């Protein structure tokens, strides 16, 4: 069983990469809350480690739940994946879910200060796993699935924010916490839509947004989301490090140009590759600011 679980993890949720993503996500939001609140006395300990583990387990749970939900679909379109190929059993993944979630729950009970929000997060994830009890409607509608499932990123951001605010006795519902939550939400939304936006020649039986609405309309919608991202990112960056606003603006105009080129010639490249570069450009200044804060307690 362990061998099969490792096969699943290596192919569907690489542990090292997933752990790094979880740690970066947790501490990026954590330090944004701390820095924008002007905190100088930061204490990192067992609770923060528990939070990173909880994020890792939650993302893993979403991955497994998706494989359960889409089993019939994957059996037809992605038969090489571990579960539909039979290389991993459903019972293996159930064991994986139970063990990891028991560990995460224990860590939250013992070390975390926002158990109530963890319960909300888990409840939302559980509802997602059963299609919010509306499988017949949601499963056949890609836009409806996006509307009901994508906000889970906001919930995860809220989990980290409520922990940080509780630890340092900060107000949870402020302009800055909302700014942080949405600034870390828009890029995920853009990526989710762009990865299902293809050139006409690349369309298959797999349902995409471009197949439903046309790649030009979907690209325009991504640009609208990007506009909101630039507004929130720019406002946040202005507080942290004013020169960083230039990087945000440059990334915006670059992706705008690349999106117009994609609409003119969609076979030139995949849109998701450009969105990923845009996200990297806008994330780098934030990481630099947080590293500077960590190294010298610097706050703009």
pLDDT digits (tens, 9 = 90+) for 57-113: 999 999 999 999 888 888 888 889 999 999 999 999 999 999 999 999 999 999 999
Cβ atoms of residues 77 and 84 within 8 Å: no
174 found inside a domain:
no
Of 113, 136, 169, the residue that ends a domain is: 169
Q: Which residue has the tokens 């836009």?
A: 143
One domain for residues 161 and 189:
no
Judge whether 93 lies within some domain.
yes
Same domain, 205 and 164: no
% pLDDT > 70, the chain = 98
pLDDT one-digit tens code per residue, 128-176: 999 998 988 998 899 999 999 999 999 999 999 999 999 999 999 999 9
Q: Which is more confident, 213 or 280?
A: 213
Whether 180 is covered by a domain: the verdict is no
pLDDT in tens, 176-190: 999 999 999 999 999
Give the residue-averaged pLDDT of 29-41.
89
Answer whether residue 250 shows pLDDT above 50.
Answer: yes
Cα 250-254-255 angle, rounded to 5 deg: 120
Note whether residue 177 is domain-resident.
Answer: no
Binning pLDDT at 50, 70 and 90, where does residue 213 land? very high
Whether residue 67 sits in one domain with residue 194: no
Please indicate, yes or no, whether residues 140 and 223 belong to a single structural domain of this protein: no
Residues 104 and 197 in one domain: no
What CATH number does the domain containing 106 carry? 1.10.357.140
Contact criterion met (CB below 8 Å) for 210 and 203: yes
155 assigned to some structural domain: yes
Does any domain span residue 178?
Answer: no
- Report the domain count for the chain: 2
> Which percentage of the chain shows pLDDT scores above 90?
73
| DSSP conformation letters of the chain | -HHHHHHHHHHHS-HHHHHHHHHHHHHHHHHHHHHHTT-------HHHHHHHHHHHHHHHHHHHHHHHHTHHHHHHH-TTSHHHHTSS-HHHHHHHHHHHHHHHHHHHHHH-S-HHHHHHHHHHHHHHHTGGG-HHHHTT-HHHHHHHHTTHHHHHHHHHHHHHHHHTT--SSSHHHHHHHHHTTHHHHHHHHHTT---GGG--SS--HHHHH-HHHHHHHHHHHHHHHHHHHHHHHHHH-TTHHHHHHHHHHHHHHHHHHHHH-TTSS-HHHHHHHHHHHHHHHHHHHHHHHHHH----
- Residue ending a domain, among 169, 195, 226, is 169
Q: Tell whether the model's pLDDT for residue 297 goes beyond 70.
A: no
Q: Does one domain contain both 226 and 278?
A: yes
> What's the confidence (pLDDT) of residue 299?
44
Domain co-membership, 4 together with 104: yes
Pair 273, 157 in one domain:
no
Longest CA pairwise span in the chain (Å): 55
Confidence of residue 290 (pLDDT cuts 50, 70, 90): confident
Instruction: Tell me if 222 is assigned to some domain.
Output: yes
Please state, in angstroms and rounded to a whole number, the distance separating the CA atoms of residues 68 and 84: 10
Give the mean pLDDT of the chain: 91
Q: What pTM does this model have? A: 0.92
Residues 1 and 122 in one domain: yes
Q: Cβ distance 199 to 267 under 8 Å?
A: yes
Residue 272 lies in a domain: yes
pLDDT bin (cut points 50, 70, 90) of residue 206 is confident
Does residue 224 sit in the same domain as residue 160?
no
Per-residue pLDDT tens for 187-205? 999 999 999 999 999 888 8
Print the domain residue range for 108: 1-169
**Residues 82, 203 within the same domain:** no
Instruction: Mark whether 9 and 139 lie in a shared domain.
Output: yes
């Amino acid at each position: 069983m362990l061998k099969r679980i490792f096969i699943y993890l290596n192919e569907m949720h690489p542990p090292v990469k997933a752990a790094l993503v979880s740690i970066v996500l947790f501490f990026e939001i954590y330090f944004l809350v701390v820095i924008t609140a002007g905190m100088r006395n930061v204490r990192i300990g067992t609770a923060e480690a528990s939070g990173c583990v909880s994020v890792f387990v939650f993302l893993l749970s979403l991955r497994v739940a998706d494989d359960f939900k889409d089993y019939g679909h994957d059996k037809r379109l992605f038969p090489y994946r571990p579960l539909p190929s039979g290389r991993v059993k459903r019972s293996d993944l159930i064991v994986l879910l139970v063990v990891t979630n028991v560990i995460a729950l224990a860590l939250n009970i013992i070390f975390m200060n926002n158990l109530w929000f963890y319960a909300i997060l888990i409840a939302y994830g559980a509802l997602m796993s059963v299609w919010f009890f509306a499988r017949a409607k949601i499963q056949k509608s890609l836009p409806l699935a996006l509307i009901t499932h994508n906000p889970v990123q906001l919930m995860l951001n809220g989990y980290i924010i409520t922990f940080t605010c509780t630890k340092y006795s900060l107000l949870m519902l402020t302009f800055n916490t909302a700014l942080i939550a949405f600034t870390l939400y828009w890029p995920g939304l853009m990526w989710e839509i762009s990865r299902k936006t293809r050139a006409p020649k690349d369309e298959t039986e797999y349902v995409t947004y471009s197949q439903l609405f046309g790649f030009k309309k979907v690209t325009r919608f991504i640009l609208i989301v990007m506009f909101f991202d630039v507004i929130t990112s720019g406002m946040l960056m202005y507080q942290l490090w004013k020169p960083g606003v230039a990087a945000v603006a440059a990334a915006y105009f670059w992706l705008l140009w690349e999106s117009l080129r994609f609409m003119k010639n969609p076979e030139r490249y995949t849109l998701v590759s450009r969105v990923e570069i845009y996200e990297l450009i806008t994330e780098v200044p934030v990481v630099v600011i947080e590293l500077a804060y960590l190294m010298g307690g610097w706050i703009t």
